[in-house]
């Protein structure tokens, strides 16, 4: 099971970080960053099958591919922003973490506007 691999890597990285923080605290952050990035990329690599499936269903249903692409970008921004914010929180920089989260939310709203306007246009056309 892949989850065992993820958990194992996380536990080993945590043990290394705990040992390093007692001797060289500045290296602990770098190991946290490296392990977090490695785990993130391992997980992201698994998403290609899900993306292909969503695109297939969108094509078969006649949904404009722009909407699916935008939705995938929004999901990607949410995950990347959360990852970056958590790294900052691990380093003790919660103020920067909250700014990363805010920037991610703003980017999501900007990307979602075309979808929201399409839905509003549809509602206006349906209403008498």
Q: Which domain holds residue 76?
A: 65-128
Provide the pLDDT for residue 112: 94
What total of structural domains would you count in the chain? 2
Provide the pLDDT for residue 106: 97
Considering the domain boundaries, does residue 55 fall inside one? no
Listed as ranges, residues in the chain with pLDDT below 50 are none
3-state helix, strand, coil in the chain (%, to 5): 90, 0, 10
List the structure tokens of 90. Answer: 């691990």
Provide the pLDDT for residue 103: 97
Provide the pLDDT for residue 49: 83
Say if pTM beats, i.e. exceeds, 0.85: no
Residues 41 and 93 in one domain: no
Residues 90 and 126 in one domain: yes
Considering the domain boundaries, does residue 54 fall inside one? no
Provide the pLDDT for residue 113: 94
Provide the pLDDT for residue 7: 92
């Amino acid at each position: 099971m892949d989850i065992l691999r993820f958990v194992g890597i996380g536990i080993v990285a945590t043990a290394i970080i705990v040992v390093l923080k007692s001797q060289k605290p500045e290296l602990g952050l770098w190991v946290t960053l490296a392990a977090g990035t490695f785990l993130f990329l391992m997980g992201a690599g698994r998403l290609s099958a899900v993306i292909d499936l969503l695109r297939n269903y969108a094509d078969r249903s006649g949904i404009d591919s722009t909407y699916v692409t935008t939705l995938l970008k929004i999901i990607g921004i949410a995950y990347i922003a959360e990852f970056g914010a958590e790294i900052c929180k691990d380093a003790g920089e919660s103020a920067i973490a909250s700014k990363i989260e805010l920037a991610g939310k703003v980017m999501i709203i900007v990307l979602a506007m075309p979808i929201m306007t399409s839905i509003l246009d549809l509602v206006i056309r349906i209403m008498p």
